[in-house]
Amino acid sequence: MKMLAAAFALALAAASAFAQETGYAVRQTEVKKEPFTDARTVGTLEERAQLKVLSRQGGWVQVESGALSGWVRMLSIRTNSGQASVVSGLKSLFNVARSGSSGTTVTTGVRGLDKEQIQNAKPNPEELRKLAALAVTKPDAERWAAGSPPLKNQAVEYLPAPSGAQR
Amino acid sequence: MRFAGLIAGLALSVFSAGALAQIKLDFNRLIDTAKNLREATKEIDEQQEAEIGREYAAVLVGAAPLVADDELQRYVNRVGRWLSLHSERPDLNWQFGVIDSDNVNAFATPGGYVLMTKGLLARLKNEAELAGVLAHEIAHVVRKHHLTAMRKGKGLEAGANILSEYLAQRGGSAVAKERLVGGMKEVMLRGLDKDDEFEADRMGVVIAARAGYDPFGLPAVLQMLQSLNPKDSALALMFATHPDPNSRLDTLEHAMGARLDRFGSQPQAAERYASFVRGR
């Protein structure tokens, strides 16, 4: 019971996952008032400037760095490691939920999928049948996409390969 | 036509000259090798591709079984199937699954099988990120990157032999099947071509945008991956088989520029994701 309460507390922490993320600018970067290229510039982050990540919208992230706050291009920053508490919180929540739904009380151990396990793996036709049974049809996927939030078809061309690449 | 055949024959005899020395005048094997190479380098049809992919997927679910949660599996299938409809191969027998492993990784196999680990799913923030991961894998299937990698396995000759042997016997021979599984494992452990990974990233963001998602989900996942400790054993295989997340981010940023910015306000569907993944 105590563990379940802890799991819920972690779930709440996870809901505000962004609030705990920190990062740094990988290059000198203009900070915009809003997440648009033509929005007003409210300041500049120097390369390696430390920041807090508050949220993301499309290709923009909302950041705070000292007294400066606003939006920068997502790919002009990198996030720091050290989200470990959020990650393991999610993981244990996941594990508790799993064992809860199966009616057992034992939490799931850490299961890897490393070199050795792949090397020693034997084909499992039973799991493969389960996988096939879980597949959904085209019309099912289309009905589902009309749900909430609705997903709308867009015509978008593939991106050209940057010059120098093979394709 | 006859001329083309002659050229092909010449090409094969050039190949044969090299092989001849190696196999010490073993003519039967020589002829087989030439035939196999020709067989395997011509296009594998869709049914054969699906067969190979099924064997491949069987090994993966043999290494880690599916998470026993039909509702979660159905959710991932719906997201994946919807994305697949926005690829060039909407009519494959697409099957998506979450496997019970705490490692962080995702796999595709020929013919439309896509498997991701529970460990990766738990680290994602929203459905647009999930869509980014699945769309990257869908791109590998669309472009048949695994078949290319298998042909290159253990040198062109052996890779070609493994595929053609299997196909010639329609999976009937246990030996051929075992050799095929060995070839697949080699690809799983060695990874795909670096440029094929970059291509799948470039295609993945577009497939996600076409399906109505915020296309920046995949870059967000790459950003999350680069922030993790690369020494974590849960990441070892994924990091060993992919270019490092920073170079993927740089390459993708270069390709995207501002081209997909106008789709940035499409849904991330964080709440729906939470209700299926986190809230369970």
Does residue A100 surpass a pLDDT of 60? no
Strand A22-25 to strand A29-32: parallel, antiparallel, or no bridges (unpaired)?
Answer: unpaired
Comparing B195 with B178, the larger pLDDT belongs to: B195
Out of A143-152, B1-10, B131-140, B205-214, pick the least confident.
B1-10
pLDDT average, residue stretch B34-45: 61
Instruction: Give the DSSP letter of residue B66.
Output: B
Q: Does residue B183 carry a pLDDT above 70? A: yes
Span B148-161, average pLDDT:
70
Predicted pLDDT of residue B112: 97
Does A58 reside within a domain? Answer: yes
**Higher-confidence position of A137 and B163:** A137
Mean pLDDT score of chain B: 85
Interface residue A56 vs chain B (CB under 8 A):
yes
Which residues are CB-contacts of A117 (< 8 A; sequence separation ≥ 6)?
B63, B64
* H-run or E-run covering B114: strand B113-117
> Cβ–Cβ of B86/A111 closer than 8 Å?
no
Residue B87 near residue B207 (C-beta atoms within 8 A): yes
* pTM greater than the 0.95 cutoff: no
Asked whether residue A38 is domain-assigned, the answer is: yes
Using the Cβ of B35 and the Cβ atoms of chain A, whether some distance falls under 8 Å is answered with no
CB proximity list for A107: less than 8 A, separation 6 or greater: A3, A92, A95, A96, A99
Contact at 8 Å (CB) between B255 and A160?
Answer: yes
Confidence (pLDDT) at A110:
57
Q: Is B67 on the interface with A (CB under 8 A)?
A: yes
Decide if A51 is inside a domain.
Answer: yes
Q: How many CB pairs under 8 A join A and B?
A: 247
How high is the pLDDT of residue A97?
Answer: 38
Give the highest mean pLDDT range of B152-161, B177-186, B193-202: B193-202
Q: What is the pLDDT of residues B213-241, one digit of tens each?
A: 999 999 999 999 999 988 888 898 999 99
More confident residue, B201 or B33: B201
Q: Decide the pairing of beta strands B113-117 and B95-99.
A: parallel
When pLDDT is cut at 50, 70 and 90, the band that residue B40 belongs to is low
Residue A13 lies in a domain: no
- Measure the CA–CA gap between B126 and B267, rounded to whole angstroms: 10
Task: Tell me whether A2 touches chain B (CB under 8 Å).
Answer: no
pLDDT of residue A107: 36
Which amino acid is located at A152 in the chain? K
**Which structure tokens are listed for A56?**
């993301």
- What would the pLDDT profile of A63-84 be if each residue is shown by its tens digit? 999 999 999 999 899 988 754 4
Which pLDDT belongs to residue A10?
45
Q: Which residue in A38, A128, A166 has the most chain B C-beta atoms within 10 A of its own C-beta, making it the best mutation to test that interface?
A: A128
Q: Is the pLDDT of residue B14 over 60?
A: no
Is the Cβ pair B81, A140 closer than 8 Å? yes
Three-class HEC string of A6-46: HHHHHHHHHHCHHHHCEEEECCCEEEECCCCCCCCEEEEEC
CB contact under 8 A, B260 and A59: yes
Residues B138-157 have a mean pLDDT of 83
Q: Structurally, how many domains does chain A consist of?
A: 1
How many angstroms separate the CA atoms of B119 and B78, rounded?
20
Q: Check residue B33 and give its pLDDT.
A: 57
Residue B144, chain A, CB below 8 Å: the answer is: no
- Looking at residue A95, its pLDDT comes to 45
One-letter amino acid for residue A86 of the chain: V
Residue of B235 and B5 predicted with greater confidence: B235
Question: Which residue of chain B comes nearest to A134, CA vs CA?
Answer: B74
Name the band, by pLDDT with cuts 50, 70 and 90, for residue B143: very high
Q: Work out the average pLDDT over A92-111.
A: 41
Identify whether A31 is part of a domain: yes
Q: Are A160 and B198 in contact (CB under 8 A)?
A: no
Evaluate whether residue A129 is within a structural domain. Answer: no
Q: How confident is the model over B99-120, as pLDDT tens digits? A: 999 999 999 999 999 999 999 9
For B173, residues 6+ apart whose C-beta sits below 8 A from its C-beta are: B165
Instruction: Give B176's pLDDT tier (boundaries 50, 70, 90).
Output: confident
Residues sharing a CB contact under 8 Å with residue A62, sequence separation 6 or more, in sequence order: A35, A53, A54, A55, A56, A69, A70, A71
Are A113 and B203 within 8 A, CB to CB? no
For residue A126, the surrounding DSSP H or E stretch is helix A125-134
| Residue A33's CATH number | 2.30.30.40
If pLDDT is split at 50, 70 and 90, which confidence band does A19 have? low
Q: Which domain holds residue A47?
A: 22-79
* Domain residue spans of chain B: 1-42, 46-145+192-278
Task: Kindly report, residue by residue over B50-98, the tens digit of the pLDDT.
Answer: 999 999 999 999 999 999 999 999 999 999 999 999 999 999 999 999 9
Higher pLDDT, A35 or B42: A35
